[in-house]
Amino acid sequence: MVSPMDTEQRESRLEALVQACVDLIEWRFQGEVDRGAAAMLLADGTIITGTSPTALNAAVEVCHEIEPFCAAYRLDLAVVASVCLHRDPAGRFLVLSPCGVCRERLAVHGPEVLAAVPDSGDLTKVAWVSLGDLLPHYWLAAFPQELASMSGWKTVPATPPLVAPNAAEARLTGGSSA
């Protein structure tokens, strides 16, 4: 479980998280553009960074988040927040929201994980969104037995169909549902 942080401490850690990501890009890719990295804040306050190696076959490349995600697993610590940045040709650091695969990886840590997304007015500014807000209709919620092992996610209650199957078929064929 994530220990509670006061607002000031939380903001400070999130700023440090973003700066660690920028620092990795600047250190690892000096003078290079179109490069990126990711950073994750873990439950104990540790910040882990990572980047993705290039491959001759782009189909086998992985997301920048893989390295910090695997480190969190190795350390047996929950991910609290995640950021991914990309330096563009103008030298700006663009905020990349987590892709669908990374959202699935983060979902293991629960809906309260904070994900960096670009601010609506400026793609270089981070806005923090909980994974629960990023995935309001999480697909696994339809499987309560599977979701039970993942803390914090809510299941979807079973609901009857809006239209009985026979009535729907009758409307399609122009016949009667009786």
CATH number, domain of 90, equals 3.40.140.10
Question: What pLDDT shows up at residue 2?
Answer: 44
The residue whose two tokens read 């803390």 is 151
120 inside domain = yes
- Residue 38: inside a domain, yes or no? yes
Query: Residue 158: inside a domain, yes or no?
Result: no
Stated pTM of the model: 0.81
> Mean pLDDT, 10 residues at a time, over the chain (178 residues)?
68 96 97 95 96 92 95 96 97 96 93 95 96 87 73 61 54 56
pLDDT at res. 112: 93
Examine residue 128 and state whether it is found in any structural domain, yes or no: yes
pLDDT at 103: 94
Is the residue at 155 inside a domain? Answer: no
- The domain containing residue 58 runs over which residues? 7-136
Q: Within a domain: residue 152?
A: no
Residue of 166, 1, 137 lying closest to 77 (CA atoms)? 1
**CA neighbours within 13 Å on the CB side: how many for 138?**
26
17 within domain boundaries: yes
AA identity, residue 153:
W
153, 168 contact by CB (below 8 A): no
Q: Is 26 domain-assigned?
A: yes
Contact predicate 154/164, CB 8 Å: no
pLDDT of residue 1: 40
Number of domains forming the structure of the chain: 1
Pair type for strands 79-87 and 35-42: antiparallel
